[in-house]
Structure 1
Amino acid sequence: MTTSVSSPEMVGRQADLAWLEGLLDEARQSAPRTGVLGGEAGIGKTRLIAEFTRRLGDDVRVLAGQCVDLGEVAAPYAPVKSALRALVADVGADAVLDAVGPGRAAFVALLPELAGSGASVEASPAGTPIAGGPEATGRLHEAIAVLLETISRERTTVLIIEDLHWVDAATLALLRFLMRALTSSRVLIVLTYRSEDIGRGHPVRGFLTEIERDRWVDRRELSRLTRAQVRRLARVLLADEPGAAMVESVYGRSEGVPFFVEELIGIGRDCGDAAELPDTLRDLLLARYEGLSESTQSLLRLVSTGGVRVPHALLEDVFPGTPDELDRAARDAVVGGVLTVDGEQYAFRHALVREAILADLLPGERARFHAAYAEAYERVSAAGVRRLAAEISFHWLGAHNAAKAFPATVQAMREARASAAYATAAQLGERALSLWDVVPDPAAAARMDKIELMGRTTTYLRNAGESERALALVKAAIAECPDDNARLARLLRDQALVLASLGREGAIPLLREALARLASIPSPDFETSRLRASVMTALAGRLMIAGQVDEAIDIAEAAHALAIEFDSDRSASVAYNVASVSRLSRGEVEVGLAGLEEARRLAHGDGAALLRYWVNASDARYLVGDHRSAVEHAEQGLERARAQGLERSSGVILASNAVDPLHALGEWQRADELISRALALDPPGSFRVYLLRARIWARLWRGDPEGAADEFRRVRAVMTPIMAVEAQTRLGVGRLIAELALESGDLGDALDAVRILLDEPAHHHLGYVLPFLWTSARLVAAARRDPVGAEPAGLDGPALVDLERQIRERLAGVAIWPTFPVWAPFVEAELVAPGAPDAVDAWRTAVDAAAHPAALGYLDGYARLRLGEAALATGDRQLARTELRAARAAAETGGVGLVVRLVDQVATAAGLSVAAGAAADEASAPAEPPRSPAARTASGPPGVEGGAAPADPVLDDLTARERQVLGLIAEGLSNRQIGERLYISGKTASVHVSAILRKLGASSRTEAALRARAVR
């Protein structure tokens, strides 16, 4: 056997190499990129990566890790730990911990060997670390992101993770985060995977589908070599021109897979006859192995059980022979081209060879080898060198020793939880549960009973985002739980939290039942009382979100008192927070705002409680109209999140609370950036809905109603479940639906959306109700302008009167809210009938209200637009021109494209020029004298009654709207264009056209147009 088994020259991969180098060039320019490299086994992924890294200069740092094949549940963060340990070895523990910043504690939890380093973990400004939950995962992810970002300032950094098809769930979640969070670094992430090993249901398949939508990710599949490339590779390997017969044979048998080409060429060269080449893939993979001595083959079988890479020290521990025998066998395997030496480790030249040898093991042999590795890992673990419980569990399972695998699995679960690897902890918890009934005394081995294990695993699943599995498991736990009120209450609370995370109904009844069970305990101990406070706080929070704020206040204040009694600051802060937001929601503004500040004081630096404060405090400031303060509170919360090492996880979600106030201030671009960044980090369901709603709303008002409607149709299914359980979401999304429907002219859909508001309990969520009342009033105005379209939508005369009555009643009920002086004039102006004498005065009042400090920036342009329309209706064209120009200027300056478009439509219909730079002579022309309604043009703006006095008696039968439509028919406009001009749908325009043709006795639009022109 030859030792020269790999080609010294890489063949057929120049374009792929240039692709990687191009990604690196972009990363060098602070444009972080991710390259995902796939392909079948043996196609040359590792060789390409090796060639890429070999060419790198000293200005690039390479961090590499390889996923470990430990079956269905791999050790958490294994490839990342490998890469980070190499970095620590390179620059030192102190330098790494300094670079990590506030996430030091989380980083040390991942690499506990750093706990004894000189850099003080306690010196971190993070404050008290969050003990668990998604925040712990966020802190670890942030710590690694900060580290990579920091070291990349010195040298461009390439993070390589190979064999993603074996990736553990925790690493996959971390990679998803890094790819989206490293927005201003010089980092290139390179991932490789074996394409045939990610079948349906494999987590990597979903991961690849998801990241393909990201513009900073580029995915590439390596192709097989062509016949010409196989010939060239053979020439390089043989150092001579290959014969045609060999090339054809090798090409046919290898099918262009480089690894197989190298093996076939090497074996054929040694055999001297292409006809002797192996007939099957298995024979080819085992050809070199079978040519080795029996002792070397025995070593290789042992190594194959240990994994793709096995440290020499570990192999010494499990090898049954002497060290000299091990060295001889290992040397033979290396010389024979089966193993390679990588530092202190032995690695198979290719994973396919390892898998072929592993498949050739006898059952007894396999179990014996696994047991040897498990015992060796236990000895290493006992020495406190590394956390190896996952490896121990895997090997004891391979040895079919459930009794020893079970405690190792439970310990591995604890270790995964300690490093915030909740997805892996959940998988291990489920594995432990599957072993529960086949091991003796499992409760003693696990140091917990089955119900507790089920409860913990439920929590891990929920924290990992696996809420459906969490729900199934907690239901099973409740079914198995004995009649223990305290334990059942805890499980019921957990089930409620899972339902809440899924955005489903049912959490409130479960929490009520949990509270009832706790109340039935005659002499509750300390832990039971703390659990009761927790359940009460959770129930109050769900009641608040559902809109049942009166009961929420009572329960939250009782929870606060209980938490104070049992000295639980975090619980007291959260409970008071809920009570304060609930009071604010029903109009107790000063009390609510003061209560939020008290909740902040009670938090005493607790991370989770403080983040909740910043979220609710910034939202409260926005709702009361203090937009600048709302942005400042959100930014202060972001600073706090940054200090806790949560800037790009919880911090970004918190910062997104600045989106609505930024919209109010007209800072659209800044809001867009926050939305995009927060959505990229895959926030929880309710936050995602909030961000999507804000983005669609901004798209509408910035002048892209069609795009906004299209996006809403795509995401409506995501919003609907959250609307069912959250009153704020119902009102926010309901208003969006109504505005989209109004813009498209669909009055029926708009009415359905307005009913969402009218069905909500009165006097709650006042900050959301007021702007929705304005939207509802706009529906009344639209129905009056378009009575033909209003009738089929259910807005005929009596219905319209009733809707106006309900709006006025609701408006009177929210007069205590601070933004009432802004919204009330707008509602009243919308409700004034089109063309009414007091319309101009009503819209003048609205213009004044738009100057209020609490007013949203886009309202000024909108109010002046409507004032201009009202002026046109009275014949005051000079005032109309002035206000429409002012409206357009304000809208253009503020980026309110929708108002610009509406102004242009109204001005065009009225024959006014209002764009910037309009002719000076028009601006200085004397005002036209007011004209009677009978003298107004038929194509006047929407909402303007009348038209040219008809000379044809038949035209007397037409309504004012129909005369407007007829004028536009005479201009040659289509139904769609008529709808756009008059703010109605194309379908409604078609109804008007049909009525006109029928009344005129015209056979076509052309004939109707001629009749209209004849009487002008």
Structure 2
Amino acid sequence: MRSGKTSGSLIGREGDLDALVNALHESAAGDTRTVVIGGEAGIGKSRLIDEFAATVPAATVVVKGQCVDLDRDAPPYAPVTGALRALSATIGAEALLDAAGPSRGALLLLLPELGARAAPATDRVGETTVRGGAEFLYDGVAVALENVSREHPLVIVIEDLQWADQATLGLVRFLVRVVEHGRILFVLSYRSDDLVRGHPLRSWLPELDRTPRVSRRDLSRLTKRQVRQLVGEILGSAPLAHDVDVVFERTDGVPFLIEELVDFDGYVNADCFPDTLREILLARYDTLSEPTQKILRLMAAGGTRVEHSLLLAVHDRDADDIDRAAREAVLGNVIVIDETSYAFRHALVRDAIHEELLPGERVRYHSQYARALEAGLSAECIPATEISYHWMAAHDMKCAFGASITAMAQAHQAFAYDTASRMGERALELWDQVPDAEAVAGRSRVALLAETAHDLRNAGESDRAISLVDEALADSPPDDVERIARLLRDKASYLANVGRTGSVELLRRALAVLQGEPPSVLRATVLGELAARLMLDARFDESVEIADEAFDEAREVDSRARMSISANIRGMSLVARGEIDRGLADLERAGELAGGDDSARLRYFVNMSDAMNGLGRFDDAIRISLEGFEGARRRGVERTSGALLLSNTIEPLFAGGDLARADELLERALELDPPIGFSAHLQRLKLWSTLWGGDIAAAEALLRGWRAPLSLQLQIDAQSRLGLARVAGEIALAAGNLPAAWLEVRGVLSADHRRVAAYDLPLLAVAARALAGATSSGTPIATEDGETDPARIEARLRAVLEPSSAWPTAAAYLAVFDAELGGAAHTGTDAGLWRTAVQASRSPLAQAQLLPYSSLRLAEALAADGDRPAALGHAEEARRRATEIGAGLIVARVTELERRVGLPASGSASTPTPGLVPDNRRLLTERERQVLDLVEQGQSNRQVALQLFISAKTASVHVSSILRKLGATSRTEAVFLAHQGEAPELTPAAR
């Protein structure tokens, strides 16, 4: 019998092996690297990784984690847990826990067997660390790996990601994005042929391609030449050409299938090759004895890899039977020994053998595995999801139900919400098939519906969560008022998560249900959430009233945390409606009442920093938000509350003109990959930064990609609505798309617009610019209710602006607004108004970009008035200020202004370089070429004059000169002839 000989060299994968080795060298220098290896089943991913692992220096620790194929029941974090367990065995449990430091609690969630070794983790003020969600676990693993890598360079292999659960993918994605400076090489593999439509890896792979620390290797099938080489190495002699042709045809160049086809005991020549893939995969199995085949079928029921102790527990005969069968199967190259386990050479072989199970064997074997795992007979801690899988495969619904309930609790505790919700839904499906379901579950069906809905929401499936809540509400007894109120509150939250309206009404219903009940934390919570929803919708008067009730209710039940949150919401609402001192006092009180409650304290930092930024107190906003961010990071909520606090740091940095630091923090915050409810503001800031940095095309592309997720909150969050309208309007204006710009900003005139001064002011300035541009170009625009007259639209904009005129940051925006619509034609040509805007923009309360922008517009106005020396001076001032803050958008516009008015651009030659003007355009002067460019865009003489700051008569003279020099009889013909290789010979007079 053959011993499973394979090629001694890695045929066709030499470049991929070199890429892994190079990535290892880069990671060893302290720059974390990731290599992602993709390819269909049997293409050689594992062989490549094994060959690479053999080349790794002895000082580098290599650990592997294997995703398992249990349909949709993959245990949460299984491959990461496996890798960490191997790391613990290599460096010692104490060393691993020490590396995690205060985050060691995260490791205990994954490796509970280390619990006896762990001391309680404390933060720097001595309080017990509070777990904040999946980010707590993510951060703990990242910290541990980075710290271990300082002592031991690491190679962490995670294989078969196509089978990973959502929790595993979330953790691996986090590690790849966030771990930057560890001596770590992540090697990830996946089956490309398993990535069906909707698979989460399909959306992740393009993101990986954009990450500079990641390289991707897609393994292709072998060519016929490579197949001939592989067959020859397996056989030890040159194969016949006919045999190579048959092998190539049957296997399509897949290395594993080639080995299975050529290297088995029945091989003589191509005439004896199996005909189908299934026969190829079972060829070795079919040569084994029946007792060995039976044990392999038992092993296949346990998965691709089975521990010896577990196989012994489920086998109902002599242990010697396992030894004899294992020895025969190893010699037959069907399985391999993996330390204390048996593993099939390939998952494809396991799948084929599993399909050989008879119905009785399937029920019996899976039942035996489930019982053994429940009894703790495995050497490893087995999640209940795996037990549930076996009971489902055995069609034992009652046992599957109980295991699913346990698995749901385990997954929830480990923040694996996708798995938890799936187990909950399975239990709900099985509920009617279990006679005593409520006793087994330890809760009512309504309670299970509510818990499953909560996990669905946390898994990002709020729509499905709403459906389950609706079912729970329909089944709830009318007298269970607390349950109904909680369900209504939950539904309100889930609706808000998907950007749907209705939350306010649901919270009012919850209050009605609780009417007449004794004071409670629940009622204080519902009141607080109602006040928060009203505040977000800019219904500040109602929010203050409800927040008062919430505060009184919380005080009556002595809940300082709920008192803090109520004061917080009331304070923000008071500030927003102009009662600034009173509102800030409430916010300060909220901070004092929060005490050691993490949630209340973080909400204080978020809202207080937001208030400071809106009031133009940028330094205070930065200080408060950074303090809050440090607290969020220590408590493991860096990706959620921490993301909000980073955005509240970045925005005032931009406003204060520190664009470099703001961009650095922005990239860091986006790398955290926060959920959309926390990333939306960061994305708007990224749009703003990209635009004002000068890359208009990139800003447009980002807006197209992010429009859908950013739009989720528009119906329920006034700040999101106004903030997106502003930046989208600015992008459209920068791109020269006036109709689109007006459509973005005109909502400020809608009947349901609610005033938010800090957001209204910049938006109204953009709306004024869009209106002036439309008026100047003759572009038709209209309000949502059909108004088209520019004068009436301007009057309505001023009516919206007036209530915000007393806001602390209003002076600069009011001046810019007036200047945008100044001049006889209301098109922003009044130099005096732009001088006023420049002066107002020097205020420390004004956003930094307003000064160079106003200086640019002043220069444009002066140029239009014919005062070119003054225009040049202010253009230079605009360039200097814009360069200081990194506003490339303004720098580019200054350069364009200098070109249009015929002034020498700063830092450039005043005449074109010979040879750079193509074709017949060389016959024209620089000014005539500028005119021709605008004519080519279809602009009239009047529009050309406005663009170039010349009179219409002068524009007409230039057009006539162009026609004469090119020998054209029309503007259209001139455009055509300008791009031709030769011009008609000019007469002396024409010259």
In the alignment, which residue of structure 2 is the partner of 1:149? 146
Matches within 5 A, 1:261-340: 261-267=258-264, 272=268, 274-340=270-336
Q: Distance in 1 between matches of 2:943 and 2:210?
A: 34
Counterparts in 2 of 1:706 and 1:290: CA distance versus 1, 3 Å: closer
1:888 and 2:885 correspond? no
- Residue 982 of structure 1: CA displacement? 7.0
CA contact under 8 A between 2:660 and 2:886: conserved in structure 1?
A: no
Q: Which amino acid aligns with 1:193?
A: Y
Corresponding residue for residue 158 of structure 1: 155
Map of 2:811 onto structure 1: 821
Partner Cα distance (1:797, 1:496) in 2: 36
The answer on 1:802 being equivalent to 2:792 is: yes
CA distance in 1, matches of 2:43, 2:217: 13
Determine the C-alpha separation between the residues in 1 that align with 2:507 and 2:183: 48
Alignment-derived partner of residue 953 in structure 1: none
The Cα offsets for residues 631-662 of structure 1, whole Å up to 9 and x where unpaired, read as 22222222112212344554244312222222
Task: State how 1:54-453 maps to structure 2 within 5 Å.
Answer: 54-122=54-122, 127-130=127-130, 135-208=132-205, 210-267=207-264, 272=268, 274-380=270-376, 386-453=381-448
Distance 2:412 2:187 in 1: 27
Q: 1:678 Cα deviation (Å)?
A: 3.3
Which residue does the alignment assign to 1:867? 858
Matched, 1:492 2:488: yes
In structure 2, the residue matched to 1:675 is: 666
Matched to 2:805, the amino acid is: A
> Counterpart of 2:924?
none
Aligned residue among 471, 479, 498 for 2:474: 479
Deviation at 1:231, TM superposition (A): 3.1
Which residue of 2 is the match for residue 939 of structure 1? none
CA distance in 2, matches of 1:384, 1:805: 77
Q: Which amino acid letter does the alignment assign opposite residue 937 of structure 2?
A: N
- What's the CA shift string for 1:14-53, capped at 9, x where partnerless? 1221222233333334443332222222222111111111
Three-state SS of the structure 1 residue aligned to 2:460 is coil
RMSD of aligned residue pairs (Cα, Å): 3.6
CA contact (8 A) 1:905 1:981 kept: no
**Structure 2 residues not aligned, in runs of 5+:** 911-926, 961-967, 976-988
- Aligned mates of 2:929, 2:246 — CA distance in 1: 81
Instruction: Tell me, in whole angstroms, the C-alpha distance in 2 between the residues paired with 1:763 and 1:9.
Output: 71
Deviation, structure 1 residue 511: 1.7
Answer yes or no: is the 8 Å Cα contact 1:162–1:192 preserved in 2. Answer: yes
Q: Which blocks of at least 5 consecutive residues in structure 1 are unaligned?
A: 920-964
Rounded Cα–Cα distance in structure 2 between residues aligned with 1:623 and 1:371: 63
Aligned equivalent of 1:555, options 546, 549, 552: 546
Contact 1:702 1:896 in 2 (8 A): yes
Question: Is the deviation greater in 713-722 or in 419-428?
Answer: 713-722
Identity %: 44
How do 1:947-958 and structure 2 match up within 5 A?
Answer: none
Q: What is the number of residues matched between the two proteins?
A: 945
Q: Deviations over 1:490-547 (max 9, x none)?
A: 222212111111122222222222221122xx344x7xx2222222222211111111
1:641-720 to structure 2, matched below 5 A, reads 641-647=632-638, 650-720=641-711
What CA distance in whole angstroms lies between the structure 2 residues aligned with 1:567 and 1:679? 39
Pairwise CA distance, 1:167:
1.3
Post-superposition offset of 1:875: 5.6
| Residue 931 (structure 1) aligns with | none
Q: Which residue is 2:607 aligned to?
A: 616
Q: Which one-letter code corresponds to 1:267 in the other structure?
A: F
Offset at residue 80 of structure 1 (A): 0.9
Identify which of 750, 766, 782 aligns with 1:775.
Answer: 766
**Cα–Cα, structure 1 residues 276 and 776, in superposed 2: closer, same or farther, change >3 Å?**
closer
Larger relative contact order (C-alpha < 8 A, sep ≥ 6)?
Answer: 1
Paired residue secondary structure (1:725): coil
Q: Is the 8 A contact 1:784 1:833 kept in 2?
A: no
Q: Is the 8 A contact 1:98 1:119 kept in 2?
A: no
TM value normalised by structure 1: 0.86
Following superposition, the deviation at residue 912 of structure 1 comes to: 4.0
Matches within 5 A, 1:514-533: 514-519=510-515, 522-524=516-518, 529-533=520-524
Counterpart of 1:185 in 2: which secondary structure? coil
Shift of 1:78: 0.9
Cα distance change of structure 1 residues 861 and 454 upon mapping to structure 2, 3 Å threshold: same
Aligned to 2:964: none
The answer as to whether partners of 2:64 and 2:83 remain within 8 angstroms in 1 is: yes
Q: CA deviation at 1:452?
A: 0.8
Whether contact under 8 Å (1:104, 1:124) holds in the other structure is no
- 1:27-66 alignment runs, 5 A limit: 27-66=27-66
**Is the contact made by 1:889 and 1:916 (CA closer than 8 Å) also made in structure 2?**
no
User: Quick one: distance in 2 between partners of 1:235 and 1:337?
Assistant: 19
Contact 2:227–2:244 (Cα < 8 Å) also in 1 = yes
8 Å CA contact 2:647, 2:666 repeated in 1: yes
Match of 1:723 among 714, 734, 738: 714
1:315 and 1:191 map into 2 onto residues whose CA distance is 29
SS of the residue 1:724 aligns to: coil
**Distance apart, 1:895 and its partner CA:** 2.4
Residue correspondence of structure 1 range 904-923 to structure 2 within 5 A:
904-913=895-904, 915=906
- Identify if the C-alpha distance between structure 1 residues 1003 and 545 changes in structure 2 by more than 3 Å, giving closer, same or farther: farther
Q: 3-state DSSP class of the match of 1:65?
A: strand
Work out whether residues 587 and 764 of structure 1, in 8 Å CA contact, stay in contact via their aligned partners in 2.
Answer: no
Amino acid of the structure 1 residue aligned with 2:565: V
Rounded Cα–Cα distance in structure 2 between residues aligned with 1:90 and 1:771: 58
What corresponds to 1:25 in structure 2?
25
Give the letter for the 2:350 counterpart: R
Q: Partner amino acid for 2:405?
A: V
Compute the displacement of 1:286 (Å): 2.5
Change (3 A) 1:568 1:448: same
Task: Tell whether 2:802 aligns with 1:812.
Answer: yes
Sort the Cα spacing of 1:441 and 1:548 in 2 relative to 1 into closer, same or farther, 3 A. Answer: same
Q: For the Cα contact (< 8 Å) 1:966–1:1008, is it kept in 2?
A: no
Q: Does 2:532 correspond to 1:537?
A: no
User: How far, CA to CA, are the matches of 1:844 and 1:113 in structure 2?
Assistant: 71
661 and 428 in structure 1: CA distance in 2 versus 1, 3 angstrom threshold: same
The alpha-carbon distance between structure 1 residues 59 and 646, as it changes in their structure 2 partners (threshold 3 A), is: farther
Moved more, 833-842 or 435-444: 833-842
For residues 682 and 982 of structure 1, what CA distance do their matches in structure 2 show? Answer: 49
State the Cα deviation string for residues 168-226 of structure 1 (Å, max 9, x = none): 22101212222212233332222222233332344444443554444443333322223
**What is the letter of the counterpart of residue 627 of structure 1?**
F
Q: 1:578 aligns with which of 569, 573, 576?
A: 569
Cα distance in 2 for partners of 1:759, 1:232 equals 73
Tell me the SS of whatever aligns to 1:851.
coil
Residue in structure 2 matched with residue 606 of structure 1 by the alignment? 597
Counterpart of 2:823 in 1: which secondary structure?
coil
Q: 635-644 or 566-575, which moves further after superposition?
A: 566-575
Structure 1 residue 65, shift from structure 2 partner: 0.6
Confirm or deny: 8 A CA contact 1:76 1:416 kept in the other structure: yes
Could you say which residue in structure 2 is the equivalent of 1:469?
A: 464
Which amino acid counterpart does residue 19 of structure 2 have in structure 1?
Answer: W
1:634 paired residue number: 625
SS in 1 for 2:36: strand
- Number of the residue aligned with 2:979: none
After alignment, is 585-594 or 196-205 more displaced? 196-205
